[in-house]
Chains A and B, each alone.
Chain A
Amino acid sequence: MKAFADLFQAIDQSTKTSIKVAALTDYFRTASDDDKLWTIALFSGRRPKRAVTTTQLREWASEVADVPLWLLEESYSIVGDLAETIALVLPPSHTRSNLSLTQWIKFLGELATLEPEQRKERILQAWSQLEPTERFLFNKLLTGGFRIGVSQKLMTRALAKAVDQDEATIAHRLMGGWTPETVTFQSLILDDDPTADLSRPYPFYLAYQLETEPEELGQLENWQAEWKWDGIRGQLVLRGGQHHLWSRGEELITDRFPEMARSLDFLPDGTVIDGEVVAWDGAQPMGFSTLQQRIGRKTVPKKLLKDAPAILLAYDLLEHNGQDLRDAPLRERRAQLEALIAPLPDDTPVRLSPALHFEDWQSLTDQRATARDHKAEGLMLKNLDAPYLAGRKKGDWWKWKLDPLTIDAVMIYAQQGHGRRANLFTDFTFAVRNGDDLVPFTKAYSGLTDAEFRKITQWVRKNTIQRFGPVRQVTPHHVFEIAFEGIQKSPRHKSGVALRFPRMSRWRHDKPMSEANTLDDLNAMLETYG
């Protein structure tokens, strides 16, 4: 476990991408295959089965640390992480275990077969043999969640370097429904076996916001324009007579959208489609909030299925007849997609996201202004000659949103509301990122539904770091889209800007903090609209 703990510390302590990648690369060059595989699994959100309940862990830790349970709970609510809280309150260890990561995971696996008393004994024993970071990691393995400061992208880059392969190839191999029990490092990373996992999606290609005038994109006829839909990005994989729907967060959401099962009746095997999942009223997408009701549910009640039916608005074809099309230019992929989807009947759960006709950039600008009428957020501009790339890459895909005055910000302070919402936290302070600092720049107190306020209130209670009278400093974690009508210079504010009518336009459950906007973004907006 020491090597893994050292890796974790190197990653966790640094804010510099280069250092993180170097530490990971080094680890992937030196660790055992089993440890590498588990590390990849853990860093990509896969985890061992839970062997004990967190209630048991709390009780045992309270006992060993001689800290009353209520005090442990209070500490937890401040620290915000149970694994960390327990690691911090336990007395220092005196002996040192030299089990590897894989051996510890095996140790956890064996717990399931033991009597509760023996389980407890084993865990106390483990705690007494691990140094603080190892103990924290061990607790993380015990409690499940394993979010640390490294994106899958960084891990992929390091792994690609370590095994001397292409980053996109590795990214693709890491996708899908594998577990460390079902594959080996050799089979997952090194062997070339395209049929290894039929459900495996392709890494999504992500667009940047267009910051220049579209004229600067060059030749009009090299570009395709589509509506930018306000739904969730999805990839529909049809292989081996089965269908799988993946979200951009690489989450399998097949069960949440049972409508998609019918796509097997219309589309041939060996088809992978990139598109946007939206709630559909038969002619147009319904609002994002309607779709949101669907996202939160693992199983869908019949009524909801009827009130908020979902479809996939298809905009790209990544695989056809089992052939990976990603290297082909969009022009070609699009032609094949249209040939495939256009003839399908209206009630198919997959529909074509239309390409817009335009004679010049001005006519496109005019169409963009009507995006709201089409229930779209603006336009997408895609280079017709470009292949389908992996990840966020500049140059070929641009989002050209209708209303640019929104910013994704991190909530850092919370305060209780008044009157009807007196028992809820409704007044929040938001920050943008600056390097790895957070710079507060606006307050906002409206825009969420009561249900959302209730949810965030519960969260605030559990994640308060510090109280300053009625103001609570919370763990920076949640990202909200802040919409506003204007932006001005303001020396009175720390950030140097003041917003007009700021409100929370959306709770970005889908965005980690690392994807919130930066102070540079804010200043750029000031430059443009101030």
Chain B
Amino acid sequence: MNGALIFTDKGIYCPAGDFYIDPWRPVDRALITHGHADHARSGHQRYLATHQALPVMHHRLGDIQSQGIAYGETQKIGDATVSFHPAGHIPGSAQIRVEVGGEVWVVSGDYKVTNDGLSEPFEPVKCHSFVTESTFGLPVFTWPSQAEVAKDLNQWWADCAADGKTAILGAYSLGKAQRLMKMLDPSIGPIMTHTAVEATNAILRTQGYDLPETIAVTQDTDAKAHKGGIVIAPPAALGSNWAKKFGPVSSGFASGWMRLRGIRRRRAADRGFVISDHADWTGLLSAIKNTGAENIYVTHGYTDIFTQHLNNTGYTAQVVPTEFGDTDQDSEDAA
């Protein structure tokens, strides 16, 4: 039971279809799970991704030769049949199913199993071999419900507004930022965005994703005119000069890493919100179970430990070295 997909130093490769999935070195044909930088890299000849993922990829990667595919639609590539299925990670994100001669693999990219109200919700796909991430593959990572975090988030914002402070929330500009916007209660005040976030907003809105009204903060914006507002910005902007224009602020940071006190303190925002676009421990285990797969390939995250646990609990699991999750600082911020 192997051969449909193999792991090479350029990325996950399908010999029967001569394509790669989320390759990290330039290749001829790349199937892309989603638009995050560690999965959708530049330099490939041809790209295939969901219709929903492509606009952002074009924005980020420039002039690429691409083809879109609908969720659930099957396509023959050489001797392989491929289809894309919602991964629930960010808008447009997909798990890629590859079938070769009856052997089924699913490469999940990044995923989460809970519905965030924005991304196409995760769908379990039956397979023989499942390639999973393990960004948060430790039992200490379990997420509070989105409703609970939304309550905390809005409470913090309301408190800031009452204190005459601008709330400034650091979040990765693709996915996390929009998800957070949707969690906010717009009756508290105006939602402002950093231009990097607003660029993604504009693309997603054009695609038909329903996002709340936002005010883009540009050079000419009188930042202090929007009393009681919240600003969504890339994490790097948090402590920068840019943030100073808002006057007194309280900073927040939203990531699964905020579950750990040490990291919370290292990031040193005034508030950390535990909210991740990756599956938590129970999410990972349930997703794996629902695939019915026996062979599990573990990519980025706590690979060694997670793999050992899978092997101890009846799976045949192995670590697959990839270059996901370690391009730059972004990976931690995106989590």
Tell me the A residues contacting B by CB distance below 8 Å.
Answer: 12-16, 19, 65, 67-68, 70-72, 74-75, 78-81, 84-85, 88-89, 136, 149, 434-438, 465, 468, 475-476
Which residues of chain A come closer than 8 Å to B314, judged between CB atoms?
Answer: none
> Does B62 make an interface contact (CB < 8 A)?
no
User: Known interface pairs A72-B139, A74-B305. Does A84 touch B261 (Cβ–Cβ under 8 Å)?
Assistant: yes
A68-B309, A75-B139, A88-B139 known; 20 new pairs, CB 8 Å cut-off, are A13-B270, A15-B269, A70-B308, A74-B138, A75-B140, A78-B302, A79-B140, A79-B260, A81-B261, A81-B262, A89-B140, A149-B265, A434-B239, A435-B268, A437-B239, A465-B262, A468-B326, A475-B262, A476-B262, A476-B266
Which residues of chain B come closer than 8 Å to A81, judged between CB atoms?
Answer: 261-262
> Does B283 make an interface contact (CB < 8 A)?
no
Which residues of chain A come closer than 8 Å to B305, judged between CB atoms?
Answer: 71, 74-75
Q: Pull 27 A–B residue pairs with CB atoms less than 8 Å apart, ordered by A.
A: A12-B261, A12-B264, A13-B264, A13-B270, A14-B270, A65-B139, A68-B312, A71-B139, A71-B305, A71-B309, A74-B138, A75-B305, A78-B138, A78-B140, A78-B302, A80-B262, A81-B262, A84-B260, A84-B261, A88-B140, A88-B259, A89-B139, A437-B266, A437-B268, A465-B262, A468-B326, A475-B262
Query: CA separation between A438 and B239, bound complex, in Å?
Result: 12
> Does B263 make an interface contact (CB < 8 A)?
yes
Q: In angstroms, how far is the closest chain B Cβ from the Cβ of A369?
A: 40
Q: Is the CB of A85 within 8 A of B140?
A: yes
Closest A residue, CB atoms, query B251: A15
Query: CA separation between A79 and B259, bound complex, in Å?
Result: 10
Which residues of chain B come closer than 8 Å to A19, judged between CB atoms?
Answer: 270
> Does B272 make an interface contact (CB < 8 A)?
yes
Query: CA separation between A415 and B268, bound complex, in Å?
Result: 25
Chain B residues within 8 Å of chain A by Cβ, number: 26
Choice from A12, A75, A136, A476 contacting B138 with Cβ under 8 Å: A75
Closest A residue, CB atoms, query B309: A71
Which residues of chain A come closer than 8 Å to B138, judged between CB atoms?
Answer: 71, 74-75, 78
Query: CA separation between A78 and B261, bound complex, in Å?
Result: 12
Tell me the B residues contacting A by CB distance below 8 Å.
Answer: 138-142, 239, 259-272, 302, 305, 308-309, 312, 326
Query: CA separation between A19 and B251, bound complex, in Å?
Result: 13
Closest B residue, CB atoms, query A14: B270
Which residues of chain B come closer than 8 Å to A72, judged between CB atoms?
Answer: 139
Query: CA separation between A438 and B265, bound complex, in Å?
Result: 11
Closest B residue, CB atoms, query A15: B268
Which residues of chain B come closer than 8 Å to A71, judged between CB atoms?
Answer: 138-139, 305, 309
Query: CA separation between A72 and B138, bound complex, in Å?
Result: 9
Which residues of chain A come closer than 8 Å to B312, judged between CB atoms?
Answer: 68
User: Known interface pairs A65-B139, A78-B302. Does A436 touch B268 (Cβ–Cβ under 8 Å)?
Assistant: yes
Which residues of chain A come closer than 8 Å to B262, judged between CB atoms?
Answer: 79-81, 465, 475-476
Which residues of chain B come closer than 8 Å to A438, judged between CB atoms?
Answer: 266
Closest B residue, CB atoms, query A74: B305
Query: CA separation between A252 and B142, bound complex, in Å?
Result: 42
Query: CA separation between A75 and B308, bound complex, in Å?
Result: 13
Query: CA separation between A136 and B262, bound complex, in Å?
Result: 13
Which residues of chain B come closer than 8 Å to A434, judged between CB atoms?
Answer: 239
Query: CA separation between A401 and B65, bound complex, in Å?
Result: 63
Which residues of chain B come closer than 8 Å to A84, judged between CB atoms?
Answer: 140, 260-261
Which residues of chain B come closer than 8 Å to A13, judged between CB atoms?
Answer: 264, 270-272
**Total A-B pairs in contact (CB under 8 Å)?**
68
Q: In angstroms, how far is the closest chain B Cβ from the Cβ of A283?
A: 47
Query: CA separation between A88 and B261, bound complex, in Å?
Result: 10
Which residues of chain B come closer than 8 Å to A65, judged between CB atoms?
Answer: 139
Interface centre among A19, A72, A74 (most CB of B within 10 A): A74
Which residues of chain B come closer than 8 Å to A465, judged between CB atoms?
Answer: 260, 262-263
Query: CA separation between A475 and B138, bound complex, in Å?
Result: 17
Interface centre among B261, B269, B272 (most CB of A within 10 A): B261
- State the 3 A-B residue pairs at the shortest beta-carbon distance, nearest first: A436-B268, A88-B140, A67-B139
Closest B residue, CB atoms, query A433: B268
Query: CA separation between A465 and B302, bound complex, in Å?
Result: 10
Closest B residue, CB atoms, query A474: B262
Which residues of chain A come closer than 8 Å to B239, judged between CB atoms?
Answer: 434-435, 437
Q: In angstroms, how far is the closest chain A Cβ from the Cβ of B141?
A: 8
Closest A residue, CB atoms, query B141: A88
Query: CA separation between A89 and B141, bound complex, in Å?
Result: 8
Q: In angstroms, how far is the closest chain B Cβ from the Cβ of A151?
A: 14
Query: CA separation between A84 and B263, bound complex, in Å?
Result: 12
Q: In angstroms, how far is the closest chain A Cβ from the Cβ of B135?
A: 10
Query: CA separation between A458 and B130, bound complex, in Å?
Result: 36
Closest B residue, CB atoms, query A13: B271
Closest A residue, CB atoms, query B270: A14
Q: In angstroms, how far is the closest chain A Cβ from the Cβ of B233?
A: 15
Which residues of chain A come closer than 8 Å to B259, judged between CB atoms?
Answer: 88
Q: In angstroms, how far is the closest chain B Cβ from the Cβ of A344?
A: 48
Query: CA separation between A195 and B74, bound complex, in Å?
Result: 86
Query: CA separation between A186 and B264, bound complex, in Å?
Result: 36
Which residues of chain A come closer than 8 Å to B302, judged between CB atoms?
Answer: 78
Q: In angstroms, how far is the closest chain B Cβ from the Cβ of A61?
A: 10
Which residues of chain B come closer than 8 Å to A80, judged between CB atoms?
Answer: 262
Query: CA separation between A291 and B309, bound complex, in Å?
Result: 47
Query: CA separation between A79 and B265, bound complex, in Å?
Result: 13
Which residues of chain B come closer than 8 Å to A16, judged between CB atoms?
Answer: 270
Which residues of chain B come closer than 8 Å to A437, judged between CB atoms?
Answer: 239, 266-268
Query: CA separation between A84 and B262, bound complex, in Å?
Result: 10
Closest A residue, CB atoms, query B138: A75
Closest B residue, CB atoms, query A477: B262
Interface centre among A78, A88, A475 (most CB of B within 10 A): A88
Which residues of chain A come closer than 8 Å to B265, judged between CB atoms?
Answer: 12, 149, 436
Interface centre among B138, B239, B302 (most CB of A within 10 A): B138
Closest A residue, CB atoms, query B142: A88
Closest A residue, CB atoms, query B321: A469
Q: In angstroms, how far is the closest chain A Cβ from the Cβ of B50?
A: 30
Query: CA separation between A13 and B261, bound complex, in Å?
Result: 9
Interface centre among A13, A68, A80, A476 (most CB of B within 10 A): A13
Query: CA separation between A438 and B302, bound complex, in Å?
Result: 23
Closest A residue, CB atoms, query B265: A149
Q: In angstroms, how far is the closest chain B Cβ from the Cβ of A222?
A: 41
Closest B residue, CB atoms, query A89: B139
Query: CA separation between A178 and B271, bound complex, in Å?
Result: 35
Query: CA separation between A136 and B267, bound complex, in Å?
Result: 20
Query: CA separation between A364 and B305, bound complex, in Å?
Result: 60
Which residues of chain A come closer than 8 Å to B272, judged between CB atoms?
Answer: 13
Q: In angstroms, how far is the closest chain B Cβ from the Cβ of A409?
A: 15
Q: In angstroms, how far is the closest chain B Cβ from the Cβ of A511?
A: 17
Q: In angstroms, how far is the closest chain B Cβ from the Cβ of A364?
A: 41
Interface centre among B141, B268, B305 (most CB of A within 10 A): B268
Q: In angstroms, how far is the closest chain B Cβ from the Cβ of A515?
A: 15
Which residues of chain B come closer than 8 Å to A14, judged between CB atoms?
Answer: 270
Q: In angstroms, how far is the closest chain A Cβ from the Cβ of B142?
A: 7
